[in-house]
A and B are shown apart, each in its own frame.
Chain A
Amino acid sequence: MVGKGGAGKSVISGTMARVLARDGSRVLALDSDLLPGLSLSLGAGPDPAQPPLREAAEKDEDGRWRLKKGIGPVRAVRRYATDAPDGIRLLSCGKTPREGLEPIMGSVNAFYRVVHRLEGARTFDDWALVGDLPAGPRQVAFGWAPYAETFVAVVQPTAQSALAARRVVRVARMREGARAVFVANRVTGPADVRHVEELVGESVLAAVPADEGVARAERLGIAPIDHAPGSPAVAEIERLVAALAGG
């Protein structure tokens, strides 16, 4: 999930993950944002007993980060991912602490190395992987989502949101074999959908309506699918999941 900050990436990725899990998929949710987001939209609480992901990484003799011996993607997910509702596993890259970036460098590096090895792990062949990327093109450009078959660019009906989505889709499509699609979010009617499609220059795969239930969930910091399960927005995200699965 990519797009401008505030476009609704976490809400859509968290809800998509929940819908996939309820449909019977095993789901690994990947939060590569240093800021809070996906866990709230998934409805995953903190797990104090969870060992931190930084314990999976160490520095080699040249000071370069690597995964510790014996830790591959399967073990990393088993040991360092947290449980989210509907049986989802959530792996987070670490959250920015107040003291500065250094304390999370181990966690960030472990995360980067784990996601690069997911594709080679047969265990995950039949899992659904849903990644929530931070705002902007940075992580797409630097290969933080090598597992992605499809990049979903979330666009609000604003000029800046469309500009951001167009930019990140341009970068995503430079990747061999990667598909990128646009999804409109917080639309108030067909005119908004047309506005988004004009701004991005192509049609959208889904148009998630502006929804008071989701807005309330966002203010409260809880999962939209728990707070407003029958809402029009959640229904459209269910259709989006089906459309993506249909290729």
Chain B
Amino acid sequence: MMRDNAPISHVVDALDVETYLVCDSKEEGSRLGIQLLKDLGFKDVDAVYVGWSNGGARVRLRANIHRPGDTYAWLPEAE
């Protein structure tokens, strides 16, 4: 069904990374999270959720692989 077997081509829309970052503020958590995704090679990135407390941030980071209207790698070839 898939166009190729690279795992990334099976991602429908976005890759979420959830982790806990040691940082001094919510803003720093957000900045670090976004930089983390960029360091991993993703370009269209955002911090969907950042909750900070006691020296660390619970983060949900998102790398958009396909936004609506893109050419989707997961779409099968025409039959």
A binds B: no
A residues with CB within 8 A of B:
none
